[in-house]
Structure 1
Amino acid sequence: MDLIDRWLDRAIGLTTIVGLVAVGLMMAHITIDVVGKFVFSSPVPATITLVSNYYMVVVAFLPLALAERRNSHISVEVLTEQFPSRVQHHIAGWTYLLSACVFGLMTYRAFHDAMNNMDIGSFIMEQGTKVLIWPPHFMLPLGTGLMVLVLLAKFARYLTGRGQIIPPKLIPEVD
């Protein structure tokens, strides 16, 4: 399990860095577009398309595994908090498997859609600029696929009695 944890840490760390770079590039791109539009009357072509089809997809889907690894996803425990801790533990353990199945189906479908978009060469025309939009479709199966691996690792820890994966400190927390 330690080898798997190290591999997951590296993969999640890499996708986190890509997500951080995407946020920085998106902020710079939008700033340059606004300055160009209002100061020079010349906006950057295809900004809306690039932000919504590239940056936002990376920012939304690549950090999914990081949030799961840190146990940071939103959970509502109105009913289960009334159960004994042993029952809560088993519910949480089997929830990992159920969630892995759901995200596995999402990964399969997203990869299928990404391949279809690549095959037809999906693009959008904005302000006379042709922007290919099929490449970011592969970010969704990448993010959800990594999420599946984290959930399966957590389920394996549950089955072996080794508990949950201890969330690593991939990004230092700010006080």
Structure 2
Amino acid sequence: MLLVTRFTDRLARILAFVGAAGVLAMMVHVCADVASRAMTGASLPATVEVVSYYYMVLVAFLPLAWVERKEGMISVELLDFLLTPRMRRVSDLAVVLFSITVYAVIAYASWLTAVKNYQTGTFVIALQTKIVTWPGYFLPPIGFALAALIMIVQLLKIVHGKTDADWGTPE
């Protein structure tokens, strides 16, 4: 199990790094577009489309697993202090199972959409230029699938009553 935990941690970090690189690339691209517009009066071709179909999707979905791994998602623990340790564990199990189900369903649905867009060769036209957009549709299923995998590891930790330190993963 230690191998699976390390693999998912490493993969989550890599995807978070790719997401961060996407933020930097988007910043450079948009700044270049603004500079071009200021100096020449014309925008760079397809900036809005590239930002919308690639950068924003990359930034939004790839780091999901890293956020889940760091337990950085929003949580509401309104009644948590009233629960016994056993009931808190049951509550944690229910939340993790629900999260796995939601992530898996969204990963599957977005995968079907990505495949459909790949098969049809989805694109947009910007300034008489064809911009291929179907590759961007594969980013959400990757992010959701890895988030589901991270939650499965979390489920195994809860079931076995282990902490991150017990599994040999960095906290």
Aligned 8 A contact 1:122 1:134 in 2: yes
**What is the CA-CA distance between 1:101 and the residue it aligns to?**
0.9
* 18-27 vs 86-95, which moves further: 86-95
* 153-162 vs 45-54, which moves further: 153-162
Aligned 8 A contact 2:110 2:141 in 1: yes
Q: Measured at CA, do residues 133 and 21 of structure 1 come closer, stay the same or move farther in structure 2, by a change above 3 Å?
A: same
**What is the CA-CA distance between 1:166 and the residue it aligns to?**
7.9
Aligned counterpart, 1:83: 83
Q: Is 2:50 the partner of 1:50?
A: yes
Work out the CA distance in 2 between the residues paired with 1:166 and 1:133: 40
Post-superposition CA distance 1:77-111 (Å, at most 9, x none): 22333322331122112311121011101011000
Pairing 1:2-151 to 2, within 5 Å after superposition: 2-151=2-151
Aligned 8 A contact 1:19 1:62 in 2: yes
**Structure 1 residue matching 2:13: 3-state secondary structure:** helix
Work out the CA distance in 2 between the residues paired with 1:38 and 1:168: 47
Q: Is 2:159 the partner of 1:162?
A: no
Letter paired with 2:95:
T
Aligned 8 A contact 1:108 1:141 in 2: yes
Aligned 8 A contact 2:37 2:43 in 1: yes
Work out the CA distance in 1 between the residues paired with 2:42 and 2:155: 53
**What is the CA-CA distance between 1:154 and the residue it aligns to?**
0.6
Structure 2 gaps of 5+ residues are none
Work out the CA distance in 2 between the residues paired with 1:43 and 1:167: 47
**Structure 1 residue matching 2:159: 3-state secondary structure:** helix
**What is the CA-CA distance between 1:26 and the residue it aligns to?**
0.2
Letter paired with 1:2:
L
**Structure 1 residue matching 2:130: 3-state secondary structure:** strand
Aligned residues: percent identity?
Answer: 33
Post-superposition CA distance 1:6-55 (Å, at most 9, x none): 10122112111211111110000000000001121121101011101100
Runs of 4+ in structure 1 over 3 Å off: 163-169
Structure 1 gaps of 5+ residues are 170-175
Letter paired with 1:168:
P
Give the RMSD, CA atoms, in angstroms: 1.6
* Count of aligned pairs between the two proteins: 169
**What is the CA-CA distance between 1:134 and the residue it aligns to?**
0.6
Work out the CA distance in 1 between the residues paired with 2:67 and 2:152: 15
TM-score for both structures, normalised by structure 2? 0.92
